[in-house]
Amino acid sequence: MSQELAASAVHSTAEQHRVHVQVDLLAIPLVVLLFAAVFSFQFALLVGDWDYWIDWRDRRWWPLVTPLALTILPAVFGYFLWERLRLPLGATLTIIALTAAAWISRYLNFHLFANFPMNMVWPSAYIGLGLIVDCILLLTGSFFWTGLFGGFAFGVLLYPMNWPLLAPFQVPVEMHGTMLTVSDLMGFEYIRTAIPEYVRIIEQSTLRTFGEAVTPLTAVFAGFLNIMNFWFWTWIGYLGSKALWLRKIV
Amino acid sequence: MKRLISLTCSALVAMLSLVAAMEPAQAHGERAQMPQLRMRSVHWFDINVSTVNMQINDLIKVTGSFMPSNYWPEHVQSIEKTAFLNIGVPGPSFVRLDSRVNGVPMIRSTAFKKGELYNFEITLKARKTGRYHVHPVINVEGTGPIIGPGLWVEVGGDEAAFENSATTLLGKTINLESYGLANAAFWSGLWFVIGLAWFAYWLLKCPIVVPRFKRVNELGPAEADKIITPNDRRAGLVFLVLALSVVAGSYMYTQEKWPITTPLQTGKIEVPPIDVDLPLQVRLQDARYRIPGRSFRMELEVTNSGDSPVMVGEFAAGNLRFINSDVLKVTPKDEDDLVATDALRVEGGPIAPGETRTIVVYADDALWETQRMTTMIASPDALVAGMLFFFDANGERFPVEVGGMMIPEFV
């Protein structure tokens, strides 16, 4: 009796394959949903308005704050998926989940519920950044090189990756003798009672020495900063994957 | 199990009943703001709307005046630093086409001086149907929104007919409701396709979770890379090159398509206040609020240096108006207009030209209670302020701010 209980429930290779497929069917959608929920919450806390509104996406703060916050979960889960499954999917999958959740949230919450036009609240494009990190991880098999090149690319490429989406909104317009961008104009016209103009954290910094090269400088600075940021969060992923806390409980 | 089902059903019914009984929020929390902040931040007056019934695409002007208080609380960041004239409506139910203070466009933030008078005018265009309580608002950095009196506006018509366009400095007319969305959706969609293709490449190896977990464990950390095939590496290289190419290509394409762009615009703008020459000097000698009678009593020393006798016609504090019906006839603009049309009593009569006299003003009304102003007695500095409106024999009005210590009376 006890021998029967101890025996495997799987009696053939086909059956085992079927069980493994069923695990995938259950686990993968759950993991994607988990990524979407956790990442949306974390991104809302750390980036928030910079990603919600087109008149917040400036060339100084948005490209600096965003990669630092965006790296956290791709690095943590990326480490876990690579270390445990040798799957270079952590960064891409977390960012796909974040972006999909963001589009759904912007449409339902911001557009349908709060009445903002979708062209004022579309989410930025970050999926390519995750893909680059995953590919570098796959090709190098090293978190050191992934942090160095992938973490750097995260910071450097965020702005150019989004420029095709953003550029039409930075065309100049005139309103009552004031020059604005289309983004500023929409920010003024579409009323946000709780977000006055001065609340926007844009264009404020001391880095004025290099004239027109604001965006490249910010991007390179964000890239360098993000190398260490990526390594740090990979280390957190390493600690998490050891699951010491779980072993203590069990 | 039956108990669980019945409990769940009961909870569901209770929740649905609550949802069904809910009414939409129709105010902006004016009463929630601390009385001393309402009384001593911004004095709003003459708030008006050009129409109360309108259709989608119709324009409405919200006009009025305000004076930042000289008695602005020390523990709250000052309006003299950074402020923004805003409008309190539920989201973009209107679009704001123009906003001016003393004739200066208020697209950017500004600063207002305490004790100075400002006139404002905000032009809105109806975008969503509904009934809205429209308030002027001044957002003050570090303090929050200071909400003015609200008036009800009804918007009807066809929302689908709403139009809002602008012409860029490059001469192109754009529809602000949809401009740039298709472009953003295209690039976002392209990245989704590439990202999902990468995901699909690995999903095609399904099952991937258990077998790979077991294999990695079997191989150990040093040998685990053996699980990666040459095809995987080739796919990685292809996707890496593809991603970098799309970034570079789309950037160059964009530079070609939109060669002229400008950074987001921000900054502060100065607004000169209105010069007002008042023939009056008013000093608050004593202020008491008697809680049981909802009665606010002020003893004032008034000097009239003008050439006509003056009388107090109105006292306004914290967006509440108390009217002396002997001097002024006021009809509430709607059911929520916070005006007590016969609640101001003045002892002391008109102040003759050249005369200095002490008068006593009583503002007695339940509005103090219903608008939650009675908690002014809980102020950390026990100071109050308000606007007195004097009128001369010709009906000319002189707004004067008074303020000072207030003593509550509990019996």
Q: Is the pLDDT of residue B124 over 50?
A: yes
Render pLDDT for B53-69 as a digit per residue (tens, 0 to 9). Answer: 999 999 999 999 999 99
Structure token digits, residue B91: 């989201």
Nearest CA distance, A30 vs chain B (angstrom): 13
Look at A27 and B194 and tell me if their CB atoms are within 8 Å.
Answer: no
Range 161-200 of B in CB contact (< 8 A) with A: 164, 166-170, 172, 174, 176-181, 183-185, 187-188, 191-192, 194-196, 198-199
Render pLDDT for B137-194 as a digit per residue (tens, 0 to 9). Answer: 999 999 999 999 999 999 999 999 999 999 999 999 999 999 999 999 999 999 999 9
Residue B403: the pLDDT is 93
Residue B378: the pLDDT is 79
A116 vs B92, B97, B194: nearest CB: B92
CA distance B41 to A243: 55
- pLDDT > 90: percent of chain B: 75
Residue B89: the pLDDT is 92
Q: Is the Cβ–Cβ distance between B363 and B39 less than 8 Å?
A: no
The SS3 call for residue A85 is helix
Q: Is the pLDDT of residue B25 over 60?
A: no
Residue A98: the pLDDT is 96
Top-ranked range on mean pLDDT: pick from B9-13, B76-80, B245-249: B245-249
Answer yes or no: is the ipTM higher than 0.90: yes
B194 vs A59, A131, A181: nearest CB: A131
Range 102-161 of B in CB contact (< 8 A) with A: 105, 107-109, 127-128, 137, 139, 141, 145
Q: Torsion-angle region of residue A240: left (phi > 0), alpha (psi -120 to 50) or beta?
A: alpha
Look at A85 and B203 and tell me if their CB atoms are within 8 Å.
Answer: no
CA triple B93-B95-B101, angle to 5 deg:
120
How many A×B Cβ pairs under 8 Å? 284
Q: Which chain A residues contact residue B266 at CB under 8 A? A: 184, 197, 200, 202-203
Q: Which chain B residues contact residue A111 at CB under 8 A? A: none
Nearest CA distance, B298 vs chain A (angstrom): 35
CA triple B373-B371-B377, angle to 5 deg:
10
Task: Give me the residue spans of the domains in chain A.
Answer: 15-239
Q: Which chain B residues contact residue A117 at CB under 8 A? A: 92, 176-178, 181
Residue A9: the pLDDT is 73
Look at B179 and A168 and tell me if their CB atoms are within 8 Å.
Answer: yes
> Which residues, in sequence order, are CB contacts of B221 under 8 Å at separation 6+?
A83
β-pairing, B383-392 vs B310-317, is antiparallel
Nearest CA distance, A249 vs chain B (angstrom): 22
Measured between alpha carbons, how far is residue B28 from residues A134, B49, B147 in Å? 48, 18, 8
Average pLDDT value over all residues in chain B:
91
Look at A131 and B239 and tell me if their CB atoms are within 8 Å.
Answer: yes
Question: For residue B176, what is the DSSP state?
Answer: T
Side-chain half-sphere of A222: how many Cα atoms within 13 Å? 26
Residue B18: the pLDDT is 64
Look at B166 and A185 and tell me if their CB atoms are within 8 Å.
Answer: yes
Look at A171 and B261 and tell me if their CB atoms are within 8 Å.
Answer: yes
Q: Is the pLDDT of residue B322 over 80?
A: yes
User: Nearest to residue A78, comparing CAs of A132, A124, A120, A116?
Assistant: A132
B188 vs A24, A139, A165: nearest CB: A165
CA distance B315 to A60: 49
Structure token digits, residue A218: 């910010």
CA distance B209 to A54: 39
Instruction: Read off the pLDDT of each residue in B356-380 and give the average, rounded to a whole number.
Output: 88
Residue A203: the pLDDT is 79
Assign B1 a pLDDT band (cuts: 50, 70, 90): low
Render pLDDT for A188-202 as a digit per residue (tens, 0 to 9). Answer: 999 998 888 888 888
H runs (alpha helix) in A106-205:
118-121, 127-140, 143-145, 152-166, 182-189
Residue A1: the pLDDT is 44
Assign B288 a pLDDT band (cuts: 50, 70, 90): very high
Residue ranges, chain A, pLDDT below 70: 1-7, 205-212, 244-250
Nearest CA distance, A24 vs chain B (angstrom): 6
Ranking A55-59, A243-247, B80-84, B313-317 by mean pLDDT, the lowest is A243-247
Q: Is the Cβ–Cβ distance between A190 and A199 less than 8 Å?
A: no
Q: How far from each other are the two terminal CA atoms of chain B, in whole angstroms?
A: 60
Nearest-10 Cα torsion for A199, A196, A107, A70: 0
Tell whether B27 is within 8 A of chain A (Cβ). Answer: no
Assign a CATH topology to domain A15-239: particulate methane monooxygenase, chain B (1.20.1450)
Structure token digits, residue B185: 């959706």
> Which residues, in sequence order, are CB contacts of B280 under 8 Å at separation 6+?
B302, B303, B304, B305, B306, B310, B390, B398, B400
Domains of chain B in start order, with CATH, are: 19-162 (2.60.120.570), 195-257 (no CATH), 280-409 (2.60.40.1580)
Q: What are phi and psi of B236, to 5 degrees?
A: -60, -45
Residue A246: the pLDDT is 65
Residue B300: the pLDDT is 95
